[in-house]
């Protein structure tokens, strides 16, 4: 990939003094509130956990999105995924990086999004928001019902310093026009033991709006319902890379629906079965897909800055 396609320093590390001019949605997380505005630099700090995972620090309050740090091998990136791979949690790594979150947003229940969430909930007391499947799997893995909040899409939740709009969304389609590990859990299942026991269970996206700070769109999979995001104007969009071309014009339609955000951060492009070491490891086929994605963003939205983050580095926006 050539430097004209991306900017690893477009996101500002907290130590940086210079800024990125970014405008977009108003502070409240409602699609109608789409007037361009500026926001206070340093209102929130972002750390990428790899895959679609994020830590967002808003003052002394922490929100996590799809926090997956255990990164064990299932054979996925070797072309021979074993769905019977036992679930495991790298507790020391997880505990070292998640802080003291009060809210965890889960887009869907596959292991590379949900695996570490029950441990985080148990050790920090964080509330977990996700689909009914996430709720039922959380119960099965020992998360108290009082920490689990099932959501469907359309909710706008006010947490004081930030709001969260829940968006009904879609999971990626593979080359066979299907979804890996499909299924939902409407009742509490037996305790999950393998990655096959964590089905997709429907998919959500989230618009997190920091009061006085940026409005950020988070995806955990590379598909969406255009009518559900049309009119949103996030300052930053964390956009999942597609692994197949089965979804028609995925990136162009998404960027148009979101109003061509000033900053797009591709996610879910790294090999998440390798250690959490910079620079992130990218499988050869995914490198080609990522390059094609960035090229498409630059073609469709030439004023949009494309940023590839490093793992765990603190970034902010000015």
Tokens of 135: 């709720």
C-alpha to C-alpha distances, 180 to 106, 110, 126, 274, 282, nearest whole angstrom = 17, 9, 28, 20, 20
- Sign of the dihedral defined by the CA atoms of residues 114, 116, 122, 124, in that order: negative
The pLDDT value given to residue 4: 33
Q: How many whole angstroms from its chain centre is CA 100?
A: 19
**What confidence score (pLDDT) does residue 181 get?**
81
As beta bridge partners, residue 211 has none
Residue 194 CA to residue 313 CA, distance in Å, equals: 31
What is the predicted pLDDT for the residue at 96? 98
pLDDT per residue as tens digits for the range 19-28: 333 333 323 2
Share of the chain above pLDDT 70, in %: 86
**Whole-number Cα distances in Å, 296 to 5, 22, 285, 290, 291:** 10, 21, 17, 10, 9
Q: Helices 250-257 and 284-300 meet at what angle, rounded to 10?
A: 40
Whether residue 279 has a cis bond before it, omega within 30° of 0: yes
On whether the CB atoms of residues 101 and 116 are closer than 8 A, the answer is no
The angle subtended at Cα 23 by Cα 19 and Cα 26, nearest 5°, is 130
User: Rounded CA gap, 240 and 113, in Å?
Assistant: 13
**Helix, coil or strand: residue 215:** strand
Contact 207, 165 (CB under 8 A): yes
Query: Average model confidence (pLDDT) for the chain?
Result: 88
* Residues 18, 32: Cα–Cα separation, whole Å: 31
* β-strand partners of 62: 57
User: Would you list the domain boundaries of the chain?
Assistant: 3-14+22-28+40-308
Encode pLDDT of 53-62 as tens digits: 999 999 999 9
Helix ranges restricted to H, 7-82 = none
| Integer Cα distance of 97 and 77 in angstroms | 25
The topology under which CATH files domain 3-14+22-28+40-308 is Metallo-beta-lactamase; Chain A (3.60.15)
- Across the range 191-208, mean pLDDT stands at 97
What is the SS3 assignment for 262? Answer: coil
**Separation of alpha carbons 188 and 199, rounded Å:** 13
- The answer on pLDDT for 175 being more than 90 is no
Q: Is the dihedral of CA 253, 4, 266, 47 positive or negative?
A: negative
How far, in Å, CA of 236 to CA of 257, rounded? 14
What average pLDDT score do residues 263-282 get? 96
Residue 32 clears pLDDT 80, i.e. is over it: no
pLDDT tens across 206-222, in order?
999 999 999 999 999 99
Strand order, beta sheet including 305-306: 156-158, 162-169, 203-210, 215-218, 236-240, 263-267, 305-306
């Amino acid at each position: 990939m050539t430097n004209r396609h991306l900017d690893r320093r477009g996101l500002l590390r907290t130590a940086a003094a210079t800024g990125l001019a970014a405008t977009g949605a108003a502070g409240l997380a409602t699609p109608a509130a789409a007037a361009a505005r500026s926001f206070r630099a340093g209102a929130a700090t972002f750390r990428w956990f790899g895959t679609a995972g994020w830590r967002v620090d808003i003052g002394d309050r922490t929100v996590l999105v799809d926090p997956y740090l255990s990164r064990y091998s299932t054979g996925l990136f070797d072309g021979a995924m074993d769905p019977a791979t036992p679930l495991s949690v790298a507790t020391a790594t997880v505990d070292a990086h998640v802080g003291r979150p009060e809210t965890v947003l889960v887009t869907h229940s596959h292991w590379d999004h949900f695996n570490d969430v029950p441990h985080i909930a148990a050790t920090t007391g964080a509330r977990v928001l996700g689909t009914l499947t996430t709720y039922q799997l959380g119960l099965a893995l020992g998360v108290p019902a009082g920490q689990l909040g099932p959501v469907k899409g359309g909710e706008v939740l006010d947490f004081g310093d930030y709001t969260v709009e829940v968006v009904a969304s879609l999971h990626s389609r593979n080359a066979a026009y299907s979804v890996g590990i499909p299924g939902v859990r409407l009742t509490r299942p037996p305790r999950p033991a393998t990655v096959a026991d964590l089905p997709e269970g429907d998919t959500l996206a989230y618009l997190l709006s920091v009061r006085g700070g940026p409005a950020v769109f988070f995806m955990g999979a590379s598909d969406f319902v255009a009518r559900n995001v049309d009119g949103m104007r996030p300052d930053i969009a964390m956009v999942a890379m597609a692994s197949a071309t089965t979804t028609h014009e995925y990136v162009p339609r998404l960027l148009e629906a979101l109003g061509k955000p000033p900053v797009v951060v591709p996610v879910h492009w790294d090999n998440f079965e390798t250690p959490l070491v910079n620079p992130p490891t990218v499988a050869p086929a995914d490198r080609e897909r990522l390059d094609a994605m960035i090229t498409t963003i630059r073609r469709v939205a030439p004023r949009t800055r494309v940023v590839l983050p490093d793992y765990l580095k603190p970034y902010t926006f000015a």
